[in-house]
């Protein structure tokens, strides 16, 4: 058995944190599948929208008419990287305190959301969110200012892959648009 083999079954994590190009890009930069850091594959697409809308297009989602979020679906090996670690990384890479916005990108498609695939993922997402809120967004010293995490944590619903040209977009187009919030914040 090779050192990269695993007896764990792959799991799925789904995150929305603004433009899906940058979300996919930053996860893959830090967890490249070729380096066996736990992410096996990714896809960008649409989820969390009106269930009556089937297979929405990018243009339709960007119109705001469907309530879908631009999201990244991550297949990962939990024996290498835990769901807890992925949730924490998700929070490190965007501004979870804004509603329907990341940087200059505004609309429901750019909301911060964790779409859970099990009761266990929901419990982990809620626990990690509380920890991140206390550690990184609670008031410091005498300040009464507190940024509240606005991330939705909801069960994953129907997933629709985005059009092919969106998949691995920033790897194919390194000079393409990347939201300035998609960076490591701590």
Catalytically active residues, by annotation? 19
Q: How would you write 45-78 as a 3-class SS string?
A: EEECCCCCCCCCCHHHHHCCCCCCEEEEEEEECC
The answer for residues whose C-beta is within 8 angstroms of residue 162's C-beta and 6 or more apart is 20, 43, 44, 45, 46, 58, 70
Whether the CA torsion 8, 24, 157, 17 is positive or negative: it is positive
- In the chain, the N- to C-terminal Cα span, in Å, equals 37
Alpha-carbon torsion angle 154, 139, 92, 12, nearest 10: -20
Instruction: Copy the structure tokens of residue 100.
Output: 């329907």
Q: Measured between alpha carbons, how far is 138 from 146 in angstroms, rounded to an integer?
A: 5
């Amino acid at each position: 058995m090779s050192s990269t083999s695993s007896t764990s079954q792959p799991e799925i994590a789904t995150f929305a944190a603004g433009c899906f190009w940058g979300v996919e890009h930053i996860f893959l930069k830090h967890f490249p599948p070729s380096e066996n850091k736990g992410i096996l594959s990714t896809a960008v697409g649409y989820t969390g929208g009106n269930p009556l809308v089937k297979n929405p297009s990018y243009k339709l989602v960007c119109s705001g008419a469907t309530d879908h979020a631009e999201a990244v679906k991550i297949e990962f090996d939990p024996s290498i990287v835990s769901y807890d670690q992925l949730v924490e990384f998700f929070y490190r890479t965007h501004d979870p305190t804004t509603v329907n916005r990341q940087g200059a990108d505004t609309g429901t498609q750019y909301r911060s959301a964790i779409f859970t695939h099990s009761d266990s993922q929901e419990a982990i997402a809620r626990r990690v969110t509380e920890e991140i809120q206390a550690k990184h967004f609670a008031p410091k010293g005498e300040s009464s200012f507190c940024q509240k995490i606005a991330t939705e944590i909801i069960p994953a619903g129907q997933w629709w892959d985005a059009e092919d040209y969106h998949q691995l977009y920033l790897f194919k187009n390194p000079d393409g648009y990347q939201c300035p919030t998609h960076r490591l914040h701590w």
